[in-house]
Amino acid sequence: MHSPGPKNIPLAERMRPDSLDGFAGQEHLVGPDRLLRRLISSRRLPSLLLWGPPGSGKTTLANILARTIDADFIFFSAVLAGVKDIRRIVATAEEERAKNGGTILFVDEIHRFNKGQQDAFLPHV
């Protein structure tokens, strides 16, 4: 068995930008001397909410931010994660933050959290 090479990676993933310079749109946030660039240069990102339609670059932007500040990136879907998963993911994020100093926890579809999921997650925000 061989490891997947670049040919096995979907085209959309291969074309995804890996820096703010390659990110299209949102110039008022990612342009030279704009908010996100200033936050990156300070290496202190606050909690951020990224809102937009599917395919607008929210996950890509979060990945770029994590890569740029050398932070761990932890992704999970509120639709697929139960309370037990949320507790485990938050614990992992806290451990990584303590070890490495930087963690970006990306919660996809956060508006889909039910009451139990909210109660497990919100004390950590």
The Cα diameter of the chain in Å comes to: 47
* Mean local confidence (pLDDT), 111-124: 94
The answer on pLDDT for 4 being more than 50 is yes
Residue 27: inside a domain, yes or no? Answer: yes
* Mean local confidence (pLDDT), 49-64: 92
Residue 67: inside a domain, yes or no? Answer: yes
Residue 1: inside a domain, yes or no? Answer: no
Residue 92: inside a domain, yes or no? Answer: yes
Residue 58: inside a domain, yes or no? Answer: yes
CATH number assigned to the domain comprising residue 117: 3.40.50.300
pLDDT digits (tens, 9 = 90+) for 62-86: 999 999 998 899 999 999 999 999 9
Domain that holds residue 109: 8-124
pLDDT at site 38: 94
pLDDT at site 47: 87
pLDDT digits (tens, 9 = 90+) for 8-38: 888 888 889 999 999 998 999 999 999 999 9
pLDDT at site 44: 79
Residue 68: inside a domain, yes or no? Answer: yes
* Measured distance CA(68)–CA(113) in Å, rounded: 29
Residue 3: inside a domain, yes or no? Answer: no
CB neighbours of residue 104 within 10 Å: 20
Model confidence, pTM: 0.81
* Measured distance CA(9)–CA(64) in Å, rounded: 18
> Which pLDDT band holds residue 6 (cuts at 50, 70, 90)?
low
The answer on pLDDT for 5 being more than 60 is no
The number of folded domains in the chain is: 1
Residue 2: inside a domain, yes or no? Answer: no
